């Protein structure tokens, strides 16, 4: 039996006009709890706002959506710039959502996108909704992943060479005379950039004949203050590291606070390389050596790929592929002096 708007309204305990407003993206007149309840009922009942299933949709809205995992990270501002410029140039509008790395919120955004009849979707996935990603992929809905790979699901992906980026960072620290290099990262949890940066760190140590010490691999939760505390504990040891490789720009700020609290000095007491170039990196004292990802290009390529999928008349024969962009090292003052090797290097 066909599900109607009246069925949705009855199950969600709201009026048909309320359901209609939410379907059309007018959330302002309803509480957050009501919106979530209605969207959940629509998903549970598999209600379609129009007569055709989403996969057979005939109307084109020229609107695409993007779900990001953490809008606080400066990296995403550059990615978004690339996406927005491309959308504007190719005649598309963009809807931006933030999942805060929460599975439930990400799923809610997916339902909202379906209701609003978007033409396609970009996502930096939480990787906590694997069945949902697989369902979207199986339905042929245009989808492109940015930065994080979705293992086990055939989806177009634009990412960066995180192993090479990590190797550039660690090799530079070693060439600067550092022998005990610690790495700081958030829990990998199947997240490809974190896993790959850890792998690049290990490869660089092995290639330089340096033993990997598990105590120097610092996996820290994203709870505020945890990174700073870990830095203090690590540097207070009898054999502290002489360098830190930070795998995240927000993490780098907390590392700097921890070093400062112990009255240690960069690079004299400890060297530091941060992953991701930010607007403030060169203004620190000393200026921070960083790994720069081609964030703008990542956003640009992801948007172009998605629009290609949307506009292709033979979408089913376009095989999903992973495109990997190359990062490079920006050398400043936070590692002291060292030999400079060609390849992926920029001296600021």
Q: What's the pLDDT tens digit per position in 214-264?
A: 999 999 999 999 999 999 999 999 999 999 999 999 999 999 999 999 999
Q: What confidence score (pLDDT) does residue 317 get?
A: 59
> Across the beta sheet with 120-123, what order do the strands follow?
93-98, 63-68, 120-123, 143-146, 156-160, 322-325
Number of C-beta neighbours around residue 304 at 10 A: 18
202 and 342: one domain?
Answer: yes
Q: What confidence score (pLDDT) does residue 60 get?
A: 79
Residues linked to residue 244 through DSSP beta bridges, in sequence order: 182, 272
196 and 331: one domain?
Answer: yes
What's the CA gap between 348 and 342, in Å, rounded? Answer: 15
257 and 184: one domain?
Answer: yes
- Write the CB contacts of 114 (distance below 8 Å, at least 6 apart in sequence): 54
pLDDT at 127 over 70: yes
CATH code of the domain containing 185: 3.40.50.2300
**Structural domain span for residue 10:** 1-47
Q: What's the pLDDT tens digit per position in 2-38?
A: 788 888 889 999 887 788 778 766 676 788 888 888 8
217 and 173: one domain?
Answer: yes
183 and 226: one domain?
Answer: yes
Q: What's the pLDDT tens digit per position in 32-89?
A: 888 888 888 888 888 866 533 443 444 678 999 999 988 888 899 999 999 999 999 9
Number of domains in the chain: 3
pLDDT at 210 over 50: yes
- Sign, Cα dihedral of 38, 43, 45, 46: positive
> Across the beta sheet with 345-347, what order do the strands follow?
217-219, 181-185, 243-246, 271-275, 289-292, 328-331, 345-347
236 and 282: one domain?
Answer: yes
138 and 183: one domain?
Answer: no
List the Cα angle 188/189/190 in 5-degree steps. Answer: 90
Last residue in a domain, options 31, 47, 63: 47
pLDDT at 212 over 90: yes
Mean pLDDT of all residues in 144-163? 96
The two structure tokens encoding residue 255? 């590392």
Residue 294: band (very low, low, confident or very high) from pLDDT cuts 50, 70, 90: very high
274 and 284: one domain?
Answer: yes
Residue 316: band (very low, low, confident or very high) from pLDDT cuts 50, 70, 90: low
pLDDT at 313 over 60: no
Q: Which of 280, 291, 292, 285 is nearest to 259 (CA)?
A: 285
Q: Which of 86, 164, 89 is nearest to 122 (CA)?
A: 86
91 and 133: one domain?
Answer: yes
CATH code of the domain containing 8: 1.10.260.40
246 and 341: one domain?
Answer: yes
258 and 312: one domain?
Answer: no
**What's the pTM?**
0.81
144 and 257: one domain?
Answer: no
């Amino acid at each position: 039996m066909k599900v109607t708007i009246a069925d949705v309204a009855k199950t969600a305990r709201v009026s048909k006009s309320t359901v209609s407003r939410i379907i059309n993206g007018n959330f302002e007149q309803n509480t957050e709890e009501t919106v979530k309840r209605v969207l959940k009922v629509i998903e549970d009942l598999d209600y379609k706002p129009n007569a055709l299933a989403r996969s057979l949709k005939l109307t084109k809205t020229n609107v695409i959506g993007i779900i990001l995992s953490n809008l606080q990270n400066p990296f995403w501002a550059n990615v978004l710039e690339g996406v927005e410029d491309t959308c504007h140039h190719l005649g598309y509008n963009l809807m931006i959502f933030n999942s805060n790395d929460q599975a439930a919120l990400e799923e809610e955004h997916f339902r909202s996108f379906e209701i609003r009849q978007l033409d396609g979707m970009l996502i930096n996935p939480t990787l906590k909704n694997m069945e949902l990603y697989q369902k979207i992929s199986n339905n042929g809905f245009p989808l492109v992943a940015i930065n994080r790979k979705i293992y086990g699901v055939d989806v177009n992906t634009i990412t960066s060479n995180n192993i090479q980026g990590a190797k550039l960072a660690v090799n530079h620290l070693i060439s600067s005379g550092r022998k005990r290099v610690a790495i700081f990262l958030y829990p990998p949890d199947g997240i490809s950039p974190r896993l790959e940066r850890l792998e690049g760190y290990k490869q660089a140590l092995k290639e330089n004949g340096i033993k990997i010490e598990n105590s120097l691999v610092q996996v820290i939760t994203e709870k505020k203050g945890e990174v700073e505390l870990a830095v203090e504990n690590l540097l207070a040891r009898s054999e502290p590291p002489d360098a830190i490789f930070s795998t995240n720009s927000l993490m780098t700020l907390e590392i700097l606070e921890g070093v400062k609290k112990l009255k240690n000095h960069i690079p004299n007491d400890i060297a530091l390389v941060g992953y991701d170039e930010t607007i403030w990196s060169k203004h620190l004292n000393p200026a921070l050596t960083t790994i720069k990802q081609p964030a703008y290009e990542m956003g640009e390529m992801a948007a172009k790929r998605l629009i290609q999928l949307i506009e292709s008349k033979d979408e089913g024969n376009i095989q999903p592929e992973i495109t990997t962009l190359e990062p490079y090292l920006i050398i400043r003052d936070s590692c002291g002096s060292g030999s400079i090797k060609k390849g992926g290097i920029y001296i600021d």
